Amino acid sequence: MKILIVGGTGMIGAHAALFLKEKGNDVTLAARKPVTGPSPIAGFPVILGDYAEGTFTEADLAPFEAIVFAAGNDIRHLSRDTDENAFWQKMQIEGVPNFVALAKRAGVKRLVQLGSYYHHVMPHLADTNAYVRGRKLADEGARALATPDFNVSTLNPPSIVGAFPGVSAKRYASLVAWGRGERPEIPDYAPAGGTNYMSVRSLCEAIWGALQNAESGKAYLIGDENLTFRDFFQKIFDAVGAGRVLEERDEEHPILPDAFIVPGRGNILAYEPDPEETRRLGYTRNDIDRTIAEVVAMVDQTPPAK
């Protein structure tokens, strides 16, 4: 299959590129900037463009049978001085469906959009949170363009665990350093609450499954393991041999600030994905411990930033 990955130089897009290529597909990356420096994706062909600015053309997309849209911005991309509603209007509510419509006009046959789980699990959040509302409307707007000849599906994953060479893994480097006692200014606690976690490898498996088997016009809630934030941080501490036990406190944490906890500190966003949908997409469960070990090894192999 000839596949274009939009957002192909990001952590998820890069993993998906390697995974889909291993499955025998012809993969091209679409990104705002070219790949720089040594990277496992350095040899992939790249189309430069910005979906939110409308710089891709029908001619750019026409050669591809399928597109994986992995470029949707999330709360980490929102700066303090940005108009939140205007940002999500451009990047999600308008930007994503407009790009999907362009792919449809170009004759692309299949498109898998990577969304987010918040509106799927806690739909009430869309009434009060501009980011969740943006994700919800982007999801619905993209799938509304589905037809029997244009298969559009959305994968709504949880918090993704993974890192990639050449792509920033700063958060995990901080967690590893903290676990090893190199960040003494951070006390040994985690904020109250929790969520579902999924490995990037499992997500790539779900992407490949959706490209082959997704029902057109459907949104799939995918995920793996429900963990409190304390349990997740403890797994990293254990993986680095910290020998310390974290406590849970109902207070903000410097590595996981309240702004990044969309349902609010103290809430646990837990669910089980539908077993039949999991089989249809063909992704692995119970992959978090393996992935944390992989991420720690990658952090150890990454030269410190100059």
Q: What is the number of residues in the chain?
A: 306
Each residue's pLDDT tens digit, 165-218: 755 578 899 999 999 999 999 999 999 999 999 999 999 999 999 999 999 999
Each residue's pLDDT tens digit, 86-117: 989 999 999 999 999 999 999 999 999 999 99
pLDDT at 305 over 60: no
pLDDT at 39 over 90: no
- Give the SS3 label for residue 30: strand
The CATH label, of 3.40.50.720, 2.60.40.10, 2.40.50.100, 1.10.1070.11, for the domain at 2-161+197-224 is 3.40.50.720
pLDDT at 77 over 80: no
For 295, counting Cβ atoms within 10 Å of its Cβ (0-12 exposed, 13-18 middle, 19+ buried), the class is buried
pLDDT of residue 188: 97
pTM (two decimals): 0.95
- Cα gap 260→176, rounded to integer Å: 19
Contact 35, 42 (CB under 8 A): yes
Beta-strand runs (E) in the chain:
2-6, 26-31, 46-48, 66-69, 110-114, 151-156, 159-161, 189-191, 194-199, 219-221, 225-228, 247-249
pLDDT at 84 over 90: no
- Cα gap 190→83, rounded to integer Å: 30
Angle between helix 288-301 and 229-239 (nearest 10) = 50
Please give the mean pLDDT across all residues of the chain.
94
Closest by CA to 225, choosing from 188, 262, 199, is 199
pLDDT of residue 45: 96
Contact 298, 235 (CB under 8 A): no
Q: Which positions ≥6 away from 79 have C-beta within 8 Å?
A: none
Contact 203, 283 (CB under 8 A): yes
Phi, psi values for residue 10, rounded to 5°: -80, 175
Using 50, 70 and 90 to split pLDDT, how confident is the model at 164? confident
Six token digits for residue 3: 């596949």
Alpha helices in 31-186 (DSSP H): 58-61, 84-88, 95-106, 118-121, 130-143, 170-179
Secondary structure (DSSP) of 45-62: -EEE--GGGT---HHHHT
pLDDT at 79 over 80: no
Lookup result for tokens 């739909």: 123
Average pLDDT of the segment spanning 152-174: 87
Using 50, 70 and 90 to split pLDDT, how confident is the model at 224? very high
Q: Which long-range contacts (CB under 8 A, 24 or more apart) does 19-27 make?
A: 19/201, 19/204, 19/205, 19/207, 19/208, 20/68, 20/204, 20/207, 20/208, 20/211, 23/208, 25/1, 26/1, 26/2, 27/3
- Cα gap 242→188, rounded to integer Å: 11
| Antiparallel, parallel or unpaired: β 151-156 and 225-228 | unpaired
pLDDT of residue 111: 98
